[in-house]
Amino acid sequence: MSFPHRHLLGIEQLAPRDIVALLDLAETYVDLSRSRGKHSDALSGLTQINMFFENSTRTQASFELAGQRLGADVMNMAMQASSIKKGETLIDTALTLNAMRPDLLVVRHPHSGAVALLAQKVNCAVLNAGDGRHEHPTQALLDALTIRRAKGRLHRLVIAICGDIAHSRVARSNLLLLGKMENRIRLIGPPTLMPSGIGEFGVEVYDDMREGLKDADVVMMLRLQKERMDGGFIPSEREYFHRYGLDRDKLALAKPDAIVMHPGPMNRGVEIDGTIADDINRSVIQDQVEMGVAVRMAAMDLLARNLRAEAA
Amino acid sequence: MTDLIFSNARLIDPEACSDDANGRTGHLLVSDGRIVGILPADAPAADIARERGLSAEVVDCRGACLAPGIVDIGVKVGEPGERHKESYKSAGQAAAAGGVTTMVTRPDTQPAIDNPETLEFVTRRAQAETPVRVLAMAALTKGRQGREMTEIGFLMDAGAVAFTDCARVVADTKVFSRALTYARSLGALVIGHPQEPILSKGAVVTSGKFASLRGLPAVSPMAERMGLDRDIAVIEMTGARYHADQITTARALPALERAKANGLDITAGISVHHLTLNELDVADYRTFFKLTPPLRSEDDRRAAVEAVGSGLIDIICSMHSPQDEESKRLPFEEAASGAVGLETLLPAALRLYHSRDLTLAQLFRALSANPAKRLGLPCGRLASGAPADLVLFDPDIPFVMDRYTLKSKSLNTPYDEQRMQGRVLGTWVGGQEVWRRA
């Protein structure tokens, strides 16, 4: 299995066969994680550093667990509290860490493109855990694995992505991945939360959610970030929920076996009705979390194989 | 008496009609720092020298182009405050090597050039350190804060040629209109930055597919048009002399055209970067392409090139903005904006000649003649009586830009490693040679 990439910076760089290879390997890690002895030595002897310049609980925990299950030495650095406050530049932070000789660097940063910039300055493999509004590749990959397992395929599906598309790196990575795998993508949201030039992306854009959900196989909800409220992007949470929140009525327009996804953390009653999120027949939100660990194990394993091949 | 004869030169006269738009061969005579005559090519230079005075030095141009030196409006020099980015000395050398014979400097220094004392300081520094002419602009409002106008009268007495807060828009229209009313009474030229400041706040690229793909904060190109519309209304209200530093979008051009047709005293400029690059050049977050205003779509670029050709956009400048490595080696949103341009202005502008979009006469109208005219300077012409501020260049020499060869202290050129065509061979200011290619 070849994965011709030094880093995992975005979905943009991946070919469809890279995506399939990664998901196939992730399947084996789903099985491993479900077994009693949840351990492999794939990353044994390697050092993984998680650098989060932006708050995160679930993504960081997921990467940490993924590394530990594969036997890596894992260290977490809460970058918000440390050197950037002292005025150190991103490049200097990167060089400092690089000198500690990590093998895998997992980075989240509030600015688009920052992870790629950092990757230019280090010798190890870098995984983008979210950069600004740009990309969040492991999220798109875990979503893809979840869809593939629930639907039996990852192509020719009608996938509706709803909510704050403009500010969402999850939406961007999903758009790229699901597009590469040849699905029909619909974007649903108020025009204030739609990125400009979106019509040129080969997607269908809807500001009426009911219309957009018609016959969808997958309904992917995005989190409405509270800070968007102050920006005047939407008039109020209740109007937003009324028009763009996922409730029984609206979901009934999608295919009867449509699955409901959400990258979390959820705002119940803002973008999604709590009873739908908890409906085990429709919601795959918990599966997404589980697939997240497996996909991250697979991604780190593939990059580590390349590192070892390079050293040999 | 003739001191200097440029023989066998392809003379680029910005005022030339279409037949000679790409130059006509001849000799140019210089005496006492001024152009004293232009002769057709058939007379041998040696004979002319004999006739006109034996002391004349002959510069054999061997068919290279000779044009009026470039007048570059909007050059940032880091004095006072940021001399590590660019000093008068380094900027002067860069200008000479780039064929820029007059630098019109920006007041967005630290502190801002907003009082006669600071202006006198920079004028003194410029005189001591630079081989080319330097004219200083001053801030329109104190500290470029947009609250109180500067001492426009005193600053003019001290030599300020124009008033501008540079890329900071005077958002308070009351302050702006009062400053323009006052400026009008003194005949001062005000340079505005047409941009709706609230709409464009925080934006680092132009909105569109590319910005969305990269996930960068973006501003609609309409923000430029809104800013221009406001400024035009204020000019109409006050009668002030106004120059828009950069008009870079197609949607702003009809407004500019109407304002000119209505007889307002308005001109407009554009940086050579916006004429030769577009938003896609940012590619993978390359911060050397982060400019103010941000690079535009290819459609906008094409429209701007056409507007330079028709004369609707009057002036091409470099918008020389030196930034050191530290301020550029950052995530795109955090990185400093701007590019150095003194040395690349002419080779970059020549791309438009090689692409057959503009003639050499059209280029030098925008690079030399129009900026000189706008500032009331005698240079910018190839005519008897004009100062012998000249640039000799070969428009065809190909080279690959290497930023480490630049004379600027800062090396942030977006043309690094790009193929260029056309090199400056020599620069003269007032008949004095200030630079020659070895």
Structural domains of chain B ordered from first start: 3-66+388-396+421-436 (2.30.40.10), 68-374 (3.20.20.140)
Structure tokens at B152: 């426009």
Q: Tell me the pLDDT tens digit for each residue of B86-100.
A: 999 999 999 999 999
Pairing of strands A158-162, A184-188: parallel
Buried b (16+ CB within 10 A) or exposed e, B175-200: bbbbbbebbbeeebbbbbbbbbbeeb
Q: Kindly report the number of other CB atoms within 10 A of residue B417's CB atom.
A: 9
CA distance B60 to B28: 11
Q: Tell me the pLDDT tens digit for each residue of B324-364.
A: 999 999 999 999 999 999 999 999 999 999 999 999 999 99
pTM score, two decimals? 0.92
Q: Which of B209, B216, B332 sits opposite A197 (nearest CB)?
A: B209
Tokens 């050398």 locate to B93
CB contact under 8 A, A111 and B211: no
Q: How far is A114 from chain B (nearest CA, A)?
A: 5
Q: Tell me the pLDDT tens digit for each residue of A175-226.
A: 999 999 999 999 999 999 999 888 888 899 999 999 999 999 999 999 987 7
Q: Residue B76's closest CA among B346, B407, B319?
A: B319
CA distance A102 to B131: 52
Confirm if B389 and B425 have CB atoms less than 8 A apart: no
Segment A6-28 shows an average pLDDT of: 97
Which residue in A has a C-alpha nearest to residue B212's C-alpha? A195
Checking ipTM against 0.90, whether it exceeds it is no
Mutate to test the interface with B, among A9, A13, A54, A111 (most CBs of B within 10 A): A111
The residues, any chain, with a CB within 8 Å of residue B63's CB and separated by 6 or more, are B8, B9, B10, B25
* Terminal CA-CA length for chain B: 29
Q: How far is B212 from chain A (nearest CA, A)?
A: 6
Q: How far is B59 from chain A (nearest CA, A)?
A: 49
Q: In chain B, what residues touch A91 (CB-CB under 8 Å)?
A: 329-330
Segment A89-114 shows an average pLDDT of: 92
Q: Residue A151's closest CA among A206, A219, A88, A95?
A: A219
CB contact under 8 A, A134 and B330: no
Query: Can you give the pLDDT at residue B54?
Result: 58
Query: Can you give the pLDDT at residue B2?
Result: 64
Buried b (16+ CB within 10 A) or exposed e, B99-125: bbbbbbbbbbbeebbbbbebbeebbeb
Q: Which of A91, A132, A197 sits opposite B215 (nearest CB)?
A: A132
Q: How far is A199 from chain B (nearest CA, A)?
A: 8
Segment B381-399 shows an average pLDDT of: 96
Query: pLDDT band for position B46 (50/70/90)?
Result: low
Query: Can you give the pLDDT at residue B438?
Result: 85
Q: Identify any residues that bridge with B26 across adjacent strands, giving them in sequence order.
A: B9, B40
CB contact under 8 A, A112 and B211: no
Segment A255-282 shows an average pLDDT of: 93
Q: Tell me the pLDDT tens digit for each residue of B266-320.
A: 999 999 999 999 999 999 999 999 999 999 999 999 999 999 999 999 999 999 9
CA distance A41 to B76: 58
